[in-house]
Structure 1
Amino acid sequence: MTSDGLRILTVGDRYRADAATDVGARLWPALVAALRGRGDTVSILTTDDSGPELDGVDRSLHWFRAADGSWRRPARLEASRISRRALLRLGEIEQSFRPQAVVWVALGGLPLTLAGATGLPELACVLDDWPVYGPQVDLRARQEGWDPAAVTAWTCGDVTLRDAALTALGDRVDPAAVHVDPPGDAAGWAAAVTARLDLAVAARPAPG
Structure 2
Amino acid sequence: MNKAGFENSRTDPFLFYCQSNKNCLYVALYVDDGLVVGSNKTDIEEFMEMLKFHTTRGSLNNFLHMKIQQNEEGSIAINQEDCTMEILKRFGMAEANGVSTPIGCEESDVKEKFTAEVPYREAMYLSTVSHPDIAFAVKKAARAMEDPTVQDWNRVKRIFRYLKNMMSCGIIYKNNTVCLKLYSDAYYAGDKDTRRSTTGVVATLSHGAVS
TM-score, reference length from structure 1: 0.28
Give the helix-richer structure, 1 or 2.
1
Give the strand-richer structure, 1 or 2.
2
Q: Greater relative contact order: 1 or 2 (C-alpha under 8 angstroms, separation 6 or more)?
A: 1
Task: Give the number of the structure whose alpha-carbon radius of gyration is greater.
Answer: 2
TM-score, reference length from structure 2: 0.28
